[in-house]
Structures are given as C-alpha cells and as structure tokens.
Amino acid sequence: MSTLDPHACRLRVRYKKDGRLAHLGHLEVMGTVMRSVRRAGLPFEVSNGFARRMRIQFCQALPVGASSVAEYFDLLMPEPVNADEALDELRRCTPPSLAPLEAALLPRRLPALEAWADRTQWDVLLDGGVDKQQFIDGLEAALARGTLEFMRGDKPRKLDLVSTLVSCDASASEEGLRLVLQTRATERGSLRPAVLVRSVAGCEPSYVCRMGQWHENPDGTLLSPL
Amino acid sequence: MRLAREDLFWRIEPLLSMVERPSRYLNHEWGAVEEQPGPFHVCVMYPDVYDVGLPNLGLAILYDELNRLDGISCERAYLPWIDMSALMRERNIPLLSLESSSPVASFDIVGITLAHELVCTNIVEVLDLSGITLRADERDEDEPFVVAGGPSVWNAEPVAPMFDAMLLGDGEHALALISECVRDGRAQGLARVDILRRLAKLPGVYVPSLYDVVVDQTSTRWGYAVPKEGESVPEVVYKHCIEHLSDTEPVAQRIVPYLTVVQDRLTVEVLRGCARGCRFCQAGMTYRPVRERPKDQIIEAVNRGLQTSGYDECCLSSLSTTDHSQCADVLHELYAELGEKGVRVSIPSQRLDSFGVDMASAARSSRKTGLTFAPEAGSQRLRDVINKNVTDQNMDEAARNAFENGYRRMKLYFMMGLPTETDEDLRGIARMAERVAQIGREVCGPRSRVTVSISVAVFVPKCQTPFQWEGQLPLEETHRRQHVMLEAATDRAVRISYHDAETSLIEGVLSKMGRTGFDLVLAAWKNGCRFDAWTDQFDFDRWNDAARGIGLDLEDIACERFDLDARLPWDHVSPGVSKGFLQREWRRAVDEQTTKDCTMNSCTGCGVCQTLRVSNDLAGERQ
Ligand code: SF4
C-alpha cells in the first residue's frame, strides 16, 4: 500500500556544486539538472503551450566560480514518488560534482523557491595578504556609508549593504582570511560575496561556497527548505 | 617535440575565471570517458572551439569506437578561444586534451577533423599551441603521428604538409587500423618513415610525404601528386567505405555538454550518402553510395540515446533525411511516442520534392523554428544546369503543405554565381521567394505574419564535383549580382541575407590550390588569421597581405578555370566517383540536361559501386 500523500507532488532536492563544475554558469547547471532528471526517468510535469518544457524551479543563481552544498530545485510531478528512490536514481544520473544530497516531497502549492529562499550563508576564503583587522575596518567603513558601489560588466551599480549583509565573521586561518557571511536577498538586490570582498579588500576571493539557504520569517527566525 | 604525459589541469585552472565560457575547458561531462589507461593514446581534435566541435558526429563515432578497444584510449581536444590561447602562450602552457589534461604533444596519434576549408589556419594554430613540429617531414621520431580526416580532405594539398597521414572516407574501423599500425610499428622499433609506409598500405590512407608534386604541361599551375621515386604507394588512393550503416553503432554521441553548443541535441545518423547528383555538391559525390539505417534501428537508437543523454531534442541527421525510404514512418512513430514527453524531433533540411503532407504533419514539432528548403537556384533552366531536380510546382506544393500544417516561417537556401547564371536567374530567386510568401498569405490570411527568409551563398567550385573546373565570381561581380537580387525583391515578407563574398573567396582559393596553398595558409596564420569561419574574426585584408607577400593574387586563383582534361591537384585521392563521370556531368550541365538519382532509377555510372565494390543499401523502396 502506498502511503504517499497525493498532494505532495513537489520533489525538492538539495544538491551540491563543487570541483571543476564550480565554473559552470547558472543556465549550464539548470540544463544539466534537467537532463539528469530525464536520465533518471523521474516523472515530471510538462508546461502547456507550444514549447513543452519540464516544470522545474531553481533557487537564486549561484555566481560562476562559486561552490555550494546548498543548491535546491523543485520538480513538479504528476504524481508523488518515493523521495529516497528518486534521490538514488538522480544520484546515478548526475555528474558527481553536482550530486544530489537530499530530497523530500512537499505540497504542490508553495511559493517559488527563487523568491522564497532569501537568506544565505557563505564560506569565503581570501588568499594570504589580507589582514583581518584591516578587513574589519574596511567593512565597518562600508557599513557606515550604507551602500556598496560597484561595476557589473561596464554598468555602475549600487546596493544597500545594511539590509543585504546580515553578519560577517572574519577569522584568520592557515589558508588566509576566512569569512562567514550571512546575506539577505531583498527586492532591490542581493549581495554577492565577491562584490563585497572586491569593494572592501580590493581583491578576488580564492574560494566561495554557499553553505546554506533559508527563508526568513517576519520575526527573523529561519525556515529550512527541507 | 614529444612532451611527457602528465595532468596539467592545475596550470589552466587559475585561468578559468579570466576567460569567456570557462565550461569549454572543464571536461567531466556526462558520458565522457574519464578512465584513459592506454597504454596507446589517441587524441581526436576539432580545430575550433568546444561549442562548435563537440556536436561533430564524426569525432563522436571515432571516440566511441576507439575507447571500446583494448589497449587504446581516446581523448578529445578543441582549440581554445583566443582569450584562453593568449593566456596559455603567455604562461607557456601547451594545448591540453580534455579527459586527462595531458599535453596534446604527448599523444601517440593526434587526429584532426578537416571540417571545411576555413579551418586551415586553425590547424596551424593547434600544432603551434601544442608544440608539435608543424611540417610532418620535419617531425622527430617520437612525436605524435598527426592524421587528418573528415569532409574536407578531398583537396588535401594545402594542408597536406602538416599531416603524417590523411584518411579518406568513412572513419569507422579506419582510425582503429591506423592506431594499431602505429602501435605495432612503434613496438617493433620501426623508423617513422617505415611506419608511414605501412600506413600508406591501409585502405583510404594517403601519406603526403611519400608523394612529390609535379607541375608540367598536362597539369594546372598547381601541379599533381605522384608517388616519390622508389616508394610503392598507390597512384590513386581510394576512400575507405563501410558497406552497411546498420553495422555501425547508431548512438555514437554520448557526451552531454554543460554549455550550450551549436547543435544541442541528440543526433542519430539515419542515412549516409546522397545520390541526387547536385553538381555543385561535394558531399553528394564523396559520400556515395547511399546507405540507410533501418527504421527499427533508428527508433531504438533514438529512445536509447534520449534515455542515456537526457536530451529533449533529437535530430535525424543525414545529407537528405526526407529521402530515407522510411522517413515518414519514422517521424510518425517518434512523434507519437515522444511528443507528450516534451521531446522534439527535427530533421536538418527538407527536400522540396519529397516533402509531402504526411511529412509536414510528422515534422510539426519543428513548427516554431520553421522549415528549411534548398531550391538553390531561381529558374528551372539553372536548376537543370546544377541538376537540382525540383520544379516550381514542387516548391509551391511544399510551401502550401507547410503553411496548411501551421508553419509561418520558411527559410530558403540559394546560391549565386553558379555556372551559366544570368541576371534573370537571380531575379527568379526573388520571384520564387515572393511567390512562397504569397501562398503563405493565401493559406494563412493576409494579416498572418508569414515570413520567407532567403539565404544566398556564393557558389564555390569544389573538387571532386562536376563543377571542379569552374572559376568563382570575382568580388566586384558578386557584389553587383547581390545588388540585382536586392532590387528585385520588393515583398516585405521576404528577407534576404548573403554569405560574405570575401570569406567565400578564401574558401574558393583553398579549394583550388595544390600543395603551394600551404605557403599561403602559413603566411595568413603568421599574419594573425585564425577562426576564419567566425565573421567577427575573419580579416580579408590579412589574407590579402599574406597572399601578396608571397606573390599570389587571391581573386586570380579563385576565379581561374581549369581545362577539362588537365591533371588536377587532387587527382591522386578519390571518393570512387570517376573523373570521366564528372566530365560527362559537366557536359550535361552545359547542355542543361539532368541526371537522375540512382536510388530511384537505374545506375547512372558514377563508378563508386564498381570501384569500391559496394552498392546502395536501402531499407525500403524509395519513391
Ligand atoms: S555506381 Fe551507379 S548505383 Fe552506384 S552510386 Fe554511382 S550511380 Fe549510383
């Protein structure tokens, strides 16, 4: 007897991105995930209309070059499946550096992941040469100004640092200066670790990894996607 | 110099964040063969960027086949884009393979696809970046054997000095034989030249360094190749030809790329060869005879390929897919099975005369992208000259079928500068496009957004075709004729685009020259030419300067006509179609006489079947 809830037709999967594949762009990751789903033979809904596409939702784009242990996608299915079996099948059909780590069935009707998961924790490493105190001073100065001004391509951009940076813990390690950043996505933008490091320390981070994503309740408590 | 086999990914990794599209250099794609134990190592390479090269089916076939063999491993390499190659040169990093990130110059064999004439300078770039000695006859004993293959080997001479061996015809089994020959020769301690002599005995293998080029009164100014004195190599090397396509693995393409590539889909080759006999078409002459893959094998392959790759589109590829005797059935069956899964099935371009109602509805999954037809010429007279056996009525019926089946966009391919072309023929192109647009409005309503795009290429006379003796149009005349056509097209639903006349001229030059062409290729590369097939990289002035620097005039070369009985620079390599047949076809062209397709009528005597001891291999009856 199946005990699957007939309304739980959303398979939410947490997956990683590491090694060489950290250099993949968001579209490339999306394409690969969709092909992995097809290879795994999982049932999926297809959109109506002329271009019949797989109904799948992704979380906010991870910057090219960044790793992650907390990427998510939601696959909408015509009927519920066993999440553990689906995870096994997916694992078999996905390149190891994008391996799925966890899966669960969720109710069909949920807000889109991209907007819902608005809090992120990052692990960031700066190669030797950046002094901890100097970085903290620079960050405080930036927070005092309130906004970050930077270039995206050849366009100047501004971002409200006070609302998008929740916290930043810096610690010196053998490999260099390590930052643990908590960021928040707002309607007016979200903070990318490389942008912060560039503005504050004037260098590129040598390693960026998304460690977790959550939804922030109005009272500030965090809700996990799974 | 032969480099050591070692993993050098660590040297390019820091560069990845500095270049466009880093996923070109990552490897680890789904389906790639990561384990490369060898001990004999082959690297197959497409001399353009990854995104253009990865979909190449020929290389996929060789990769798949070689990696199944015991003791032989096969990796891939592509030419890095200019940003990456500049960084690699700056840091002294040699060109690397993808799978093991080993220097290309550490391999036993490097196989390079000659996809078209415009990759010539890229081949120089590949060898230079790899650190492999440019000229085959100057290579050290232990350097890799550099082997060419692919659709553009038929005028081999302008690139021949860079290759130890060139493979003519079908690659299946042939590269394996070449690999075994080199491996065994090395194991026996043979000198490089002795291994080359052995290679020259294999079917379809031409070894340029064992031939001399002679220029005399019987030849053109580019001469002809004859066996070097004392070398027992064939005067004419015939292509290697497999008898049945059904004996080959139908799902050769197993690697699924991360980045969007030129043809991002599963490709299943359903048919090889085309006997329609279009007189300008090199592939039509060089891929004969026609070999069809049977329907059941196609359906099984498509399903298996989609399952293992995860693609949501499949292309049934060939030179002329709608000619396949079971094409409509295949399309119907696949569409019924796959349509609901959101999988599209496409065919590269449609024949006008075989595009019936059933095909229009079966191919409906490509409705959004529109249909592509190639009438090639705008008048019946000129279509008879080029042996394009389609009529205005075929065009009108195909257009009506397509519009009635919901298509709104139509793309038509034409050529200009064909032998005997007049301004009236050019105006005919505009008239034909306008008539198609008119049919579209009749069927779909006057306000429907029917568009007819016509793409007009410049005719380039290709070797091994009945038009190989022809000259190309001079640049000024090409521009004048483009103007004639533009003036004739007044319907706003018709959009005209042209191929660049200067790029076509270089293609013509490289299609015509003999071994001297290598001096030009080298001079052009030294002048900065590479990625000549990329419009934003192609630089005609650089080519012109290079030519002038060695006393050549590009237009003069491309526009030259050859005598019908002259010995040609490519007479020593043959796809099996006889020169006599090509001469006869040339005369029939001048007389505006057409020649029928031997898969639907009797043999027309091209010579392939007798020479290569093969025959057309159809899966059913063609109509
Ligand atoms: S020899 Fe005859 S049957 Fe064979 S491909 Fe040529 S024309 Fe066709």
Cβ of residue A43 closer than 8 Å to a chain B Cβ: no
Residue B154 lies in a domain: yes
Nearest chain A Cα distance for residue B299, angstroms: 18
Question: How far is the C-alpha of B442 from the C-alpha of B433, rounded, in Å?
Answer: 14
Residue B209 lies in a domain: no
Tell me the CATH number at A15: 3.30.70.580
Q: Which two tokens stand for residue B556?
A: 């003069």
Q: Which two tokens stand for residue A206?
A: 């040598």
Helix (H, G, I), strand (E, B) or coil at B370: coil
- Same domain for A149 and A160, yes or no, is yes
Which backbone phi and psi does A77 adopt, to 5 degrees?
-120, 150
* Ligand 1 centroid from CA B606, angstroms: 5
How many residues comprise chain B?
623
B363-398 pLDDT, tens per residue? 555 555 677 888 999 999 999 999 998 888 988 988
- Same domain for B266 and B322, yes or no, is yes
Tokens 């884009």 appear where?
B81
Q: Are strands A207-216 and A119-126 parallel, antiparallel or unpaired?
A: antiparallel
Question: How far is the C-alpha of B330 from the C-alpha of B340, rounded, in Å?
Answer: 16
| Nearest residue in chain B measured CA to CA from A29 | B258
B604 lines ligand 1 (CB under 6 A): yes
Tell if the pTM clears 0.90, that is, is over it: yes
- Same domain for B200 and B272, yes or no, is no
Q: Which two tokens stand for residue A9?
A: 């037709």
Instruction: Please give the distance of CA A199 from its chain centroid, rounded to a whole number.
Output: 22
Residue B147 lies in a domain: yes
Tell whether the model's pLDDT for residue A1 goes beyond 50. no
Which backbone phi and psi does B231 adopt, to 5 degrees?
-95, 130
- Same domain for B190 and B314, yes or no, is no
Question: How far is the C-alpha of B418 from the C-alpha of B119, rounded, in Å?
Answer: 24
Of B9, B27, B310, the CB nearest to A38: B310
Residue B73 lies in a domain: yes
The DSSP H or E segment spanning B282 is helix B282-286
Spatial CB neighbours of B167, under 8 Å, sequence gap ≥ 6: B147, B148, B149, B153, B174, B175, B178, B204, B205, B206, B240
Q: Which atom of ligand 1 sits closest to the CA of residue B604?
A: 7
Residues of A in Cβ contact (< 8 Å) with B26: 20-21, 23-24
Tokens 């034989």 appear where?
B177
Residue B437 lies in a domain: no
B212-256 pLDDT, tens per residue? 999 999 999 999 999 999 999 999 999 999 999 999 999 988 999
- Same domain for A139 and A209, yes or no, is yes
Residue type, B456: V
Query: Percentage of residues in chain B with pLDDT exceeding 90?
Result: 81
- Same domain for A15 and A92, yes or no, is yes
Question: How far is the C-alpha of A149 from the C-alpha of A151, rounded, in Å?
Answer: 7
* Angle subtended at Cα A79 by Cα A77 and Cα A81, rounded to the nearest 5 degrees: 90
Tell me the CATH number at A198: 3.30.70
pLDDT of residue B23: 93
Helix (H, G, I), strand (E, B) or coil at B264: coil
Q: Which residues form the domain of A203?
A: 117-223
**Average model confidence (pLDDT) across chain B:** 93
Instruction: Please give the distance of CA B448 from its chain centroid, rounded to a whole number.
Output: 37
Helix (H, G, I), strand (E, B) or coil at B167: strand
Say if residues A97 and A29 touch (Cβ distance below 8 Å): no
Q: Which residues form the domain of B159?
A: 9-168+171-204
* Ligand 1 centroid from CA A9, angstroms: 58
* Ligand 1 centroid from CA B600, angstroms: 11
Question: How far is the C-alpha of B584 from the C-alpha of B550, rounded, in Å?
Answer: 37
B443-498 pLDDT, tens per residue? 888 888 889 999 999 999 999 999 999 999 999 999 999 999 988 988 888 999 99
B274 lines ligand 1 (CB under 6 A): no
- Same domain for A129 and A33, yes or no, is no
Per mean pLDDT, which of B86-95, B342-351, B494-503 is the most reliable? B86-95
* Ligand 1 centroid from CA B191, angstroms: 41
Residue A4 lies in a domain: no
Provide the ipTM: 0.87
Residue A61 lies in a domain: yes
Tell whether the model's pLDDT for residue B165 goes beyond 70. yes
pLDDT of residue B198: 98
- Same domain for A74 and A150, yes or no, is no
Cβ of residue B609 closer than 8 Å to a chain A Cβ: no
Tell me the CATH number at B129: 3.40.50.280
Cβ of residue B258 closer than 8 Å to a chain A Cβ: yes
A94-107 pLDDT, tens per residue? 999 999 999 999 99
Tokens 């032969």 appear where?
B2
Question: How far is the C-alpha of B64 from the C-alpha of B32, rounded, in Å?
Answer: 10
B609 lines ligand 1 (CB under 6 A): yes
pLDDT of residue A2: 47
User: Among residues B619, B616, B622, which one has the least CA distance to residue B289?
Assistant: B616
Residue A201 lies in a domain: yes
Question: How far is the C-alpha of B126 from the C-alpha of B108, rounded, in Å?
Answer: 16
- Same domain for A123 and A212, yes or no, is yes
Q: Are strands B344-346 and B313-317 parallel, antiparallel or unpaired?
A: parallel
Instruction: Report the interhelical angle of B517-526 vs B540-549 (nearest 10°).
Output: 120
Give the residue from A91, A115, A139 where a domain finishes: A115
* Ligand 1 centroid from CA B466, angstroms: 15
Residue type, A151: M
Residue B278 lies in a domain: yes
Nearest chain B Cα distance for residue A220, angstroms: 36
Total tally of structural domains belonging to chain B = 2
Spatial CB neighbours of B342, under 8 Å, sequence gap ≥ 6: A46, A52, A53, A54, B312
How many residues comprise chain A?
226
Q: Which two tokens stand for residue B34?
A: 């990561």
Say if residues B104 and B130 touch (Cβ distance below 8 Å): yes
Of A28, A35, A41, the CB nearest to B311: A35
Q: Which atom of ligand 1 sits closest to the CA of residue B277?
A: 7
The DSSP H or E segment spanning B453 is strand B451-458
Say if residues B143 and B105 touch (Cβ distance below 8 Å): yes
CB contact under 8 A, B28 and A95: yes
Total tally of structural domains belonging to chain A = 2
**Average model confidence (pLDDT) across chain A:** 91
Look at ligand 1, atom 3, and give the residue with the nearest C-alpha: B603
Question: How far is the C-alpha of B205 from the C-alpha of B420, rounded, in Å?
Answer: 37
B241 lines ligand 1 (CB under 6 A): no
Look at ligand 1, atom 6, and give the residue with the nearest C-alpha: B606
Residue B508 lies in a domain: no
Better pLDDT: B332 or B293? B293
